[in-house]
Each structure stands twice: as structure tokens, then as C-alpha cells.
Amino acid sequence: MLTPGIENTPGASLPKILLADDHHLILDALRAMMKNDFDVLAVDNSQSFINAVEAFQPDIAILDVSMPGGDGFVTARKVLERQPQLPIVFLSMYADSSYLDQAAQVGAKAYLSKSVPAHDLIAAIRAVLSGDSLLPPTVSRETNGEPATHRNGLTARQREVLRLIALGCSAKDIANQLNISVRTAEFHRAAIMQRLDLHSTAQMTRYAIANNLA
């Protein structure tokens, strides 16, 4: 179900763009800026974003990292598993390089700060629509298909789990968001604690914050 009160902007012949952000002021500003160049649909939570990808069939999607109902990286991964050709651009207030790493691992085409000028955002969208990627490729893989380990020794999946733990998610919540079993979520938690020599949820949360993972 699409978010009530956030409507499509007419323009069937224009490229279709899906916007997702939990701040309606930002959505209104983006929609006003883009309405002459794109056919725009805006939603304000992760599940509505997933539903809109299926119903609206956008040519490109702009997604915030932090969204109600699910982590933006997890949401993007879910969508790209179903529609791997959809170009996704993250638009976020976070500018740390670790977020760019996660965006690249997920398969996004660009990661932009909300502080960029409007004309730079439009230029990036047009570049991605033309087939360009504004993020470095990630080609190194482990034999089990997981992305290669990051500088802290964690796989991309473990980094996702740690991020969700720091956000206060239980093992059941993590399992639901990542489409894994509760037992697998608990296994990842134990592996993270062993790898990083951490012994409590509080220590894991502090580590995630200190390393820009939360």
C-alpha cells in the first residue's frame, strides 16, 4: 500500500522516479524540483518503497539510508534481489566513507549527501539514467557468495547485523529485515562478538557508533 497523501506527479512520457524519505518537507522539495523533468512518486517508509517499486515500475529510485520500517541498505538489497536492473541512488545526511562502502556492496549506483546543490543531484540522476555508476565497483567475493571482509574484519552481512543491533533490533527483528532465520541472526551476532572481542550489546552499539556503522 502506497503512503496516503503523497501522490504521483503527472507526466507519463517522462522518466519515472521513485523518491523515499521519512521527512515530508524533503519529499515536497524534491518533488517540486523534479516535477518538470520526471514522473515522480514519493513515499515515506521502507515497505511503501518496496510496494511502489512493484506497482510504479520506476526508471530510477532515490532512497534515504534511514527509513521507518527498515534500514535503507537492507531495503535496497531486498528490492535489487527482485529487480537487479533498477538503478538506486542513496540520498543521505551521512557523508562517512563507510556508508559509501555499504552502498557499493548493496549494488547502488550513487551515494549523495543531502547537502549537494540541486543541479548536482539532477546531474547525478541523469548520469545514472544514462548507465553510469558513481560508486566504485566491488568485485572481491568470498567463496560462499558473501561480500569480502571490510577493514574491520566483518563481512557485509555482519556489518548489516551489527548496524541493526546498534539500532536496537532484536534477533527476531534482524531475521525479519534480512530474510534469514532467527538462528542465523544469532549466529552472526556471536561471530561479530568473537571477531571484535566484544561481550555485550552495549559494547557492540558503542563500536558501531564509533565506526560509523549506526
Architecture of domain 156-210: Orthogonal Bundle (1.10)
Of 14-18, 159-163, 190-194, the range with the lowest mean pLDDT is 190-194
The pLDDT value recorded for residue 136 is 61
The pLDDT value recorded for residue 66 is 85
The larger pLDDT score, comparing residue 29 to residue 137, is at: 29
Rounded to an integer, the average pLDDT of 156-175 is: 89
Nearest Cα to Cα of residue 180 among 194, 169, 168: 169
Sequence-ordered list of residues with C-beta below 8 angstroms from that of 121, at least 6 positions apart, any chain = 91, 112
Of 49-53, 65-69, 72-76, 160-164, the range with the lowest mean pLDDT is 65-69
Q: What pTM did the predictor assign?
A: 0.64
Rounded to an integer, the average pLDDT of 126-139 is: 76
Mean pLDDT taken over the chain: 83
CB of 70 within 8 A of CB of 77? no
Residue 10, pLDDT > 60, answer: no
The pLDDT value recorded for residue 52 is 97
Rounded to an integer, the average pLDDT of 144-158 is: 60
What is the residue extent of each domain of the chain?
16-129, 156-210
Residue 71: which pLDDT band, with cuts at 50, 70 and 90?
confident
The pLDDT value recorded for residue 8 is 47
The pLDDT value recorded for residue 185 is 85
CB of 71 within 8 A of CB of 102? no
Measure the CA–CA gap between 200 and 30, rounded to whole angstroms.
41
Rounded to an integer, the average pLDDT of 59-88 is: 92
The pLDDT value recorded for residue 117 is 83
Residue 140, pLDDT > 70, answer: no
End-to-end CA distance of the chain: 28
Of 11-25, 96-110, 158-172, the range with the lowest mean pLDDT is 96-110
Rounded to an integer, the average pLDDT of 147-154 is: 56
The larger pLDDT score, comparing residue 97 to residue 184, is at: 184
Q: What is the DSSP string of 40-87?
A: EEEESSHHHHHHHHHHH--SEEEE-SEETTEEHHHHHHHHHHH-TT--
The pLDDT value recorded for residue 214 is 67
> What is the fold of 16-129?
Rossmann fold (3.40.50)
Rounded to an integer, the average pLDDT of 115-120 is: 83
Give the percent of the chain with pLDDT over 70: 84
Where does the chain show beta strands of DSSP type E? 16-20, 39-43, 60-63, 66-67, 70-71, 88-92, 110-113
